[in-house]
Structure 1
Amino acid sequence: MPFTINFQLRNFYKCRLGNNMFQYAAAYGIATKNNMRVMLPSVSVIAKTFKVDADMPENATGLCSTFPVLSELNSAWGMFIQSFSLEIYGNYSVCIQGYFQSYKYFNHVKNAIRKQFTSFNEDTRIKAVTILQKTKRYYSKSLNVTSVTVIGVHVRRGDKLSLGDIQFGNRVAPREYFVKAMDHFHSKYTNSIFVICGEDQTWARKNVQPIYNVIFLNKSSTPDIDLAILVMCDHMIMSIGSYSWWAAFLNVGEIVYYKDWVLPGSDLYKGFKHEDYFPPEWIPM
């Protein structure tokens, strides 16, 4: 039986790549527990970006509209709802909606998820590999060393600085966080370089660039290429948001994250559980 997810159900929320990845991963995790299949439209951003293990019939969206809907709690922004992950009641096709922003929905199939989400299309993979190879060659020669350690740094500010996002409970990572995180890695890996990506390069160049050996990704780079580069780095420094989270989750190295992202007492805080969102092996700063 197909287990379906429709990325268009939450019409009040404009889903971006990172949010879609959480939705697919949760659907895959829940479906696997129930011996079912995930179905999604072939035109979805997930299908276009990755080689996922899902059924993609031409009428996927139409079929989903005929299935009963199972909804995660509306206030669950970053928490695991235990009852939702249990077996689906009845042997029937369903459509799910929600944020599902907890690794616990798919921790039992994390290797399969990582494999699917690192299966970038060939053009994306080649561009990411080329950029990293050029970066390593340049700095190896510049520093007169045989190899360098590449640390990916994601800087997200932009929309999270809006009044609505701030009132909701978002706090962007400040300069002090990035300095501390970069100090941490530089103390462990002397021949380290930092690859910076994010939409606010003006801020990053002013606040991050003067610290260590830093390279900025091209402003015209696409989200899938940036993601591939961050994933291929040796280690990573997160900022906030689902895109940054996924870059960290797919990276096999050491991960540092901003622990003060969510404002205590805020609406975001009420639907967020630290232990459900951040894997225990990640390092808070």
Structure 2
Amino acid sequence: MTVIAYSKKYNNFFVIERKAYSPSCTYRNVYWNNFLSKLEKYLVNYFVYFPVYQEPTFEYQELPSISSTENIKLTGYFQSYKYFDSYKDEILKEIGYNTIRNTLINKLKQNNTFNPCEMISLHFRIGDIIKVHKENNIIIPVEYYINAIKHISQNTDKPIKLLYFCEAEDNEFVLTNYINPLKKLFPNTSYHKVSDTLEDWEQLVLMSVCEHHIIANSTFSWWGAYLASDTDNKNKIICYPDKWQHSKVITHSTVDLFPENWTMCKTEAV
């Protein structure tokens, strides 16, 4: 989103590299044929030489001013909402997000007995932390989800209905270590697991449809919650964990990561 917002601010044209590999040469999914198909016209296979602006910090930093004829290449995460929040509606309209969301809702209505618009999304990030990121990231404990559910239940009169998301390979782990303990504490709550047959981008869109959100220390559920916050639900509650990484290996400051109306919840018992 940052590149598009930057181009709109300075009335400049933008392009995006088509590549499916990160700078560390690991494969990552791209969605030019589905979720982001409307952006395909802006794709290039490689850049000619452009001056590079390397993100200096994970915190928000004002981007350099440029003219409508200058070229610059942005390199980094640029995930703070402050980079693109002012242009959010324009960007979502450009990618056709409402149409994508409504199409998915209609598809799900034919196959599901529950309405995601009345549910709270829970995201569990397990597998990639254990396999790849265990030195930097933490697996969020069940206490965080307990605190978040309590917070939401104290601020809504509606029955608590949970729709939870995790990788298919983590289903058993999540059921044993999270869902079963939650069922004991919140026996009157309904629990539904999102279908593993949905593509990851479809799960992201489905997450954004939910009424409230309990995200993990994950950009996936961060985006699911952020995309949801363009709705007309002024009472929407979005909970995030107070710990994003191991305290001894803080590589990214999260001070500018979360909008002010999101709620931080403790990752230990309170």
TM-score by length of 2: 0.76
TM-score by length of 1: 0.72
Task: Give the counterpart of 1:279 among 245, 256, 259.
Answer: 259
Task: Give the counterpart of 1:184 among 142, 145, 151.
Answer: 151
Write the letter of the residue equivalent to 2:145: F
Aligned CA distance change for structure 1 residues 160 and 221 (closer, same or farther; 3 Å) = same
Equivalences for residues 60-79 of structure 1 within 5 A = 60-62=44-46, 64-73=47-56, 76=57, 78-79=58-59
- The aligned residue for residue 126 of structure 1 is 103
CA contact (8 A) 1:181 1:256 kept: yes
- The aligned residue for residue 24 of structure 2 is none
Greater CA drift, 240-249 or 100-109: 100-109
Task: Give the counterpart of 1:94 among 49, 72, 79.
Answer: 72
Q: Which runs of 5+ in 2 are unaligned?
A: 21-29, 230-235, 266-270
The CA RMSD over aligned residues, in Å, is: 2.9
Task: Give the counterpart of 1:230 among 207, 213, 229.
Answer: 207
Q: How far apart in 2 are the matches of 1:128 and 1:101? A: 27
How far is 1:161 from its partner? 2.4
Given the alignment of the two structures, is residue 157 of structure 1 paired with residue 138 of structure 2, yes or no? no
Q: Look up the SS of the partner of 1:152 in the other structure.
A: strand
Query: 1:230-271 deviations in whole A, cap 9, x for unaligned?
Result: 1111111101121111001011332111111223341xx243
Given the alignment of the two structures, is residue 215 of structure 1 paired with residue 192 of structure 2, yes or no? yes
Task: Give the counterpart of 1:204 among 161, 174, 189.
Answer: 174
Write the letter of the residue equivalent to 2:147: K
Q: Which runs of 5+ in 1 are unaligned?
A: 1-24, 140-147
- The aligned residue for residue 232 of structure 2 is none
Corresponding pairs, count? 238
Q: How far apart in 2 are the matches of 1:157 and 1:204? A: 8
How far is 1:205 from its partner? 1.6
Write the letter of the residue equivalent to 2:211: D
Query: 1:178-216 deviations in whole A, cap 9, x for unaligned?
Result: 122122223424422111111122222222252421100
CA contact (8 A) 1:195 1:215 kept: yes
Q: Look up the SS of the partner of 1:167 in the other structure.
A: coil
How far is 1:115 from its partner? 3.7
Whichever structure has more helix as a proportion of its residues is 1
Aligned CA distance change for structure 1 residues 115 and 235 (closer, same or farther; 3 Å) = farther
Given the alignment of the two structures, is residue 103 of structure 1 paired with residue 100 of structure 2, yes or no? no
Q: How far apart in 1 are the matches of 2:93 and 2:213? A: 19
Write the letter of the residue equivalent to 2:219: S
How far is 1:125 from its partner? 4.9
Aligned-pair identity in percent equals 21
Query: 1:128-185 deviations in whole A, cap 9, x for unaligned?
Result: 4443673336x9xxxxxxxx831111111111124x62322x1221111112212222
- The aligned residue for residue 167 of structure 1 is 135
